[in-house]
Amino acid sequence: MSINFPLILVLTTATTGFIWLVDVLFLKPKRAAKLEAAGDVDEQTREALLAEPTVVEYAISFFPVLAIVLVIRSFLFEPFQIPTGSMIPTLQVGDFILVNKYTYGLRLPVIGTKVADINEPKNGEIMVFIPPHQDEYFIKRIVGIPGDRVRYQDKTLYINGQKQNQTFVAQIPPVNPRHLVYREKLGETEHLIQRNPYRETRVEEWIIPEGHYFMMGDNRDQSSDSRYWGLVSEENIVGRAVAIWLHKKPGLRLPEFSRNGWIQ
């Protein structure tokens, strides 16, 4: 079971804030009253009488930092590490990306309730979300929005009957290739996809209902996506992937910045 970091962050922020508030309203006045009752005392005694309990001291120190992190992570940007190769060649395993949390609307942390509409997801954009079958973050490309008819035939997408053109780029390796790389235009976005030349696909078609989205990985033959576990509900959207800011290869390797840039 994955750790629910947003819930932990909300609880720790609320707890430290509550302790600080209790100190301001009740404990601090009591300390001041004790000092007044003590009368004329030396500086050391005065500091001892006014000293905050250790738990209060820590709460006051951590609350502002936690509150800032909570606001940024919940409403602005959230970091995310790519765990699998389902988005190759666009995103590699070990990429650290930034997820824009507000572009698809402001949502309350933990419960995910939308409180303000901003933009609607568009075909071609890369979205982070919680899939219907697993309670953890997934990242895929949007290939179907509400009202679309999506067909996948001969490893080519057709949206509302319109073929999404693919242009051959390369085969990897050049001799006896294991992968074929194509440039695909989907909506307003041009991006690379990867196909397995030896894996066949059947013709499939889906109609996307209101409030749902059809997601696919750019590594088309090595991606667990909406073809297998269904559509993504609007209420399970996390945000839009916008940039790679760090990359770290597996093992004892230093992070590198060679892949930094905006995500297409």
Helical segments of 201-254, H only: 226-229
Contact (CB, 8 A) for 73 and 98:
no
Give the residue-averaged pLDDT of 158-168: 95
pLDDT at 12: 95
Whether 47 shows a pLDDT value over 90: the answer reads no
Between 148 and 37, the higher pLDDT residue: 148
- Band (196; pLDDT cuts 50, 70, 90): very high
Among 59-63, 159-163, 173-177, 214-218, the least confident range: 173-177
* Percent of the chain whose pLDDT exceeds 70: 99
Residue written as token pair 């013709």? 203
Rounded average pLDDT over 204-219: 97
Stated as kind and residue range, the H or E segment containing 32 is helix 28-38
* Other Cβ atoms closer than 10 A to 169: 15
**CA 92 to CA 81: how far, in whole Å?**
10
Q: What is the pLDDT of residues 124-137, one digit of tens each?
A: 999 999 999 998 99
DSSP 66: H
- Where do the domains of the chain lie? 5-75, 82-262
Q: How far apart are CA 5 and CA 8, in angstroms?
A: 5
Across all residues in the chain, what is the average pLDDT?
93
- The contacts of residue 194 (CB under 8 Å, 6+ apart) are 88, 89, 179, 180, 181, 182, 218, 219, 220, 221, 222
* pLDDT-derived band at 1, boundaries 50, 70, 90: very low
Identify the pLDDT of residue 2.
Answer: 60
Q: What is the DSSP letter of 135?
A: S
- Rounded distance, CA 263 to CA 242, Å? 5
Smallest CA-to-CA distance from 30 within 59, 56, 60, 62 is with 56
Q: What is the arithmetic mean of pLDDT over 172-195?
A: 93
Q: What are phi and psi of 233, to 5 degrees?
A: -75, 145
Q: Note the helical H segments in 39-178.
A: 43-50, 54-71
- pLDDT tens track for 60-99: 999 999 999 999 999 999 999 999 999 999 999 999 999 9
Strand partners, 244: 97, 261
Residue 5: pLDDT band with limits 50, 70, 90: confident
Catalytic residue numbers? 86, 140
Percent composition of the chain: helix, strand, coil (DSSP 3-state, to 5): 25, 35, 40
Name residue 93's amino acid: V
Q: Are 199 and 221 in contact (CB under 8 A)?
A: yes
Query: How much is the pTM?
Result: 0.86
Whole-number Å distance between alpha carbons of 52 and 98? 39
Q: Which fold has domain 82-262?
A: Umud Fragment, subunit A (2.10.109)
Give, as one character, the DSSP assignment of residue 90. T
pLDDT for res 180? 96
Q: Kindly report the backbone phi and psi dihedral angles of residue 160, in degrees, each rounded to the nearest multiple of 5, phi listed first.
A: 55, 40
Cα–Cα distance, 14 to 91 (Å, whole number): 36
Round to whole Å and give the CA distance between 167 and 95.
26
